[in-house]
Structure 1
Amino acid sequence: MEYRIEHLDFELRIVGKRKSVKTSKAFKEVPTLWDNAKKDGFMEALIHMAWENPKCTLESLLGICGKEATMKDEQFDYFMGVRYEGEAPDDMETLVIPPSLWAVFPNAVDAWKRLYSEFLLISGYELADLPCIECYYDLKHKPRNELWVPIIPK
């Protein structure tokens, strides 16, 4: 399973909006949320807010999944946003994630399917009590998307 380890030694400040998603239908509901965000102009607003001085490769449209990496509940909050250092607009909120260690996988959908059945069994890491982050890059970027999983050594 292809991945890399990233240590972010700073807080991630992410500005956006929160939506509720059924865990069992996440692979269908999350793409629909992004399609709707594109249609109603929210995605364009996020792109215009995107941070201009990147500290790491986690720069693009972000989907923050729940409150912690272990998805046990029937429903979770999916936070759609971007890294942003300014004040959140009135119709958005700010989510802050502390400095942490991450396993980063190309192709978020495939990574989600293999995270629990492969990576956690053989990697020497376990999940940290932080949300996973889906990172969606522009059309020219390879890979097109990544899954950032918060981890700690076993």
Structure 2
Amino acid sequence: MDFRIERIEYELRLAGRGKSVKTSRAAKDISSHWSSAKKDGFMQKLIDMSWENPQCTLESLLGVCGENAAITDEEFTYFMGVRYDGDPPSHMETLTIPPSTWAVFPKVSDAWKHLYTEWLPASGYELGNTPCIECFYPPKHKPRNELWVPVVQKQ
């Protein structure tokens, strides 16, 4: 699998909203949440907040999966948001992710298919204690999306 390692040395402060997702239906539920966000204008609000003043690699629409990378519960919160340092609008929540090291994979759907069963066992890394982040970049960005997985080197 194609990947790169990135280190973000500061806290990521995100603004957005969380939605409950059943782990067994995650792909379908998450897709439905993004479709609803597009229809009700929430996605455009996130875009307007994110792309005005890029400051880091994670300038995109972000989908934060649960509380840590090992999603083992029957249900988790999927947080749709953007990196945002100001006070969020009143209808949004905040989420803070500590400084972390990330394995970054192009193409979110391909990465999820192979992450736990193929890449992780052979990688020399183990999962970190923060959530995975799906990044959906602005138009014309290559790649169009990436999966950021928190990792630490195996001892």
Task: Tell me the TM-score normalised to structure 1 length.
Answer: 0.97
Distance 2:42 2:55 in 1: 24
Aligned counterpart, 2:120: 120
Match of 2:81 in 1: 81
**Mapped contact 1:51–1:83 kept (Cα < 8 A):** no
Q: Give distance in 1, aligned partners of 2:150 and 2:53.
A: 23
Are the equivalent residues in 2 in contact too, given 1:106–1:147 (CA < 8 A)? yes
Q: What secondary structure, in the 3-state scheme, does the structure 2 residue paired with 1:55 have? A: coil
* Paired residues, number: 154
Q: How does 1:1-154 map to 2 (within 5 A)?
A: 1-50=1-50, 52-154=52-154
- State the percentage of identical aligned residues: 64
Give the whole-Å Cα distance in 1 for the aligned partners of 2:90 and 2:113.
Answer: 36
What secondary structure sits across from 1:69 in the alignment?
A: coil
Kindly indicate whether the alpha-carbon contact (under 8 Å) linking 1:51 and 1:85 is maintained by their aligned counterparts in 2: no
Quote the Cα distance in structure 2 between the aligned partners of 1:56 and 1:18.
Answer: 22
- The residue type equivalent to 1:89 in the other structure is P
Query: What's the CA shift string for 1:66-112, capped at 9, x where partnerless?
Result: 00000100100000000111001111111010111000000111101
Q: CA RMSD in A?
A: 1.0
The structural deviation recorded for 1:121 is 0.8
Matched position secondary structure for 1:56: coil
Cα separation, 1, equivalents of 2:28 and 2:141: 24
The gaps in structure 2 that reach 5 residues or longer are none
Secondary structure of the residue aligned to 1:141 is coil
Task: Report the secondary structure of 2:80's partner residue.
Answer: strand
| Rounded Cα–Cα distance in structure 1 between residues aligned with 2:44 and 2:120 | 36
Q: Which amino acid aligns with 1:120?
A: L
**Structure 2 letter corresponding to 1:54:** P
What is the distance in 2 between the residues matched to 1:116 and 1:55?
Answer: 31
C-alpha distance in 1 between matches for 2:69 and 2:52: 28
Shift of 1:51: 5.4
